[in-house]
Amino acid sequence: MMTLNTFMSPFYEDEAGTMMPGICTGWSVSEDGLIYTLTMDPAARFSDGTQVTAADLKFSWEYLTWPETASWASSYLTGPIVGYAEVVAGSTRELAGLVVVDDATLEITLSEPYTPFNKALTLNVGGVVKKENVLSGDDWDTNPVCCGPYKLESWNKDSGELNWVTNEHWWKTPPTIQKINYRYVQDPNTQGIMYDNNEVDVIQPADILAAQLKVGPNVAELLPIPQGGTVFFAFDTTRAPFEDANVRRALLKASDMGTIIQAVFQGGANPAFGLTSPNLAGFANPGPYFDPEGAKAALAASTYGSADSLPPISVRVPTNVTEYVRVAEALQQMWKETLGVDVTISLRAQGEEADDGISQVFRLSFGTLFNDPAVIVAGLGLSTNSFMVNWVKAQNADLDAILIDANTRPSEEVEKRIELSQQAEAMLMEEAYYIPIIWVEYYFATKPWVNGLKSNSVLSLYTLPEMTISKH
In degrees to the nearest 10, what's the CA dihedral of 192, 195, 200, 203?
Answer: 60
- At 368, the pLDDT band (50, 70, 90 cuts) reads confident
DSSP-derived secondary structure for 259-291: HHHHHHHTTSSEEPSSSS-TTSTT---------
> In sequence order, what DSSP letters do the residues of 326-370 get, joined into one string?
HHHHHHHHHHHHHH---EEEEEE-TTS-S--SS-SEEEEEEE-SS
CA distances from 120 to 24, 181, 367, 369 (A): 14, 29, 14, 8
Region 321-343: mean pLDDT is 96
| CA R_g for the chain | 23
Residue 116, pLDDT score: 94
Which of the two residues, 265 and 300, has the higher pLDDT score?
A: 300
The tens digit of pLDDT for each residue in 400-454 reads 999 999 999 998 999 999 999 999 999 999 999 999 999 988 889 999 999 999 9
Q: At 150, which helix (H) or strand (E)? A: strand 150-156
Mean pLDDT of 252-256: 98
Residue 138 has what pLDDT?
Answer: 81
Three-state SS at 233: strand
The model's confidence at residue 313, banded by pLDDT at 50, 70 and 90, is: very high
d(CA 149, CA 4): 9
Q: Where are the alpha helices (DSSP H) in 201-321?
A: 207-214, 245-253, 257-265, 292-301
pTM over 0.95: no
Please compute the mean of the pLDDT values over residues 268-297 and round it to a whole number: 93
Q: Which of 19-23, 54-58, 71-75, 312-316 has the lowest mean pLDDT?
A: 71-75
Q: Is the dihedral of CA 328, 383, 387, 260 positive or negative?
A: negative
CA angle at residue 360 from 354 to 362, to 5 degrees?
A: 45
**How far, in Å, CA of 94 to CA of 266, rounded?**
50
Please state the φ and ψ torsions of residue 430, each to the nearest 5 degrees.
-65, -40
Mean pLDDT value across residues 325-338: 97
pLDDT digits (tens, 9 = 90+) for 94-148: 999 999 999 999 999 999 999 999 999 999 999 999 999 999 988 899 999 999 9
pLDDT in tens, 43-67: 999 999 999 999 999 999 999 999 9
Which SS3 state, helix, strand or coil, does residue 371 take? coil
Q: Which amino acid is at 377?
A: V
Average of per-residue pLDDT values in the chain: 94
- Per residue in 189-202, pLDDT tens? 899 999 999 999 99
Contacts of 158 (CB under 8 A, 6+ apart): none
**144 to 41, 63, 282, 450: CA distances (angstroms):** 21, 15, 39, 28
The answer on pLDDT for 16 being more than 90 is no
Handedness of CA 171, 177, 180, 186 (dihedral sign): negative
| pLDDT band for position 149 (cuts 50, 70, 90) | very high
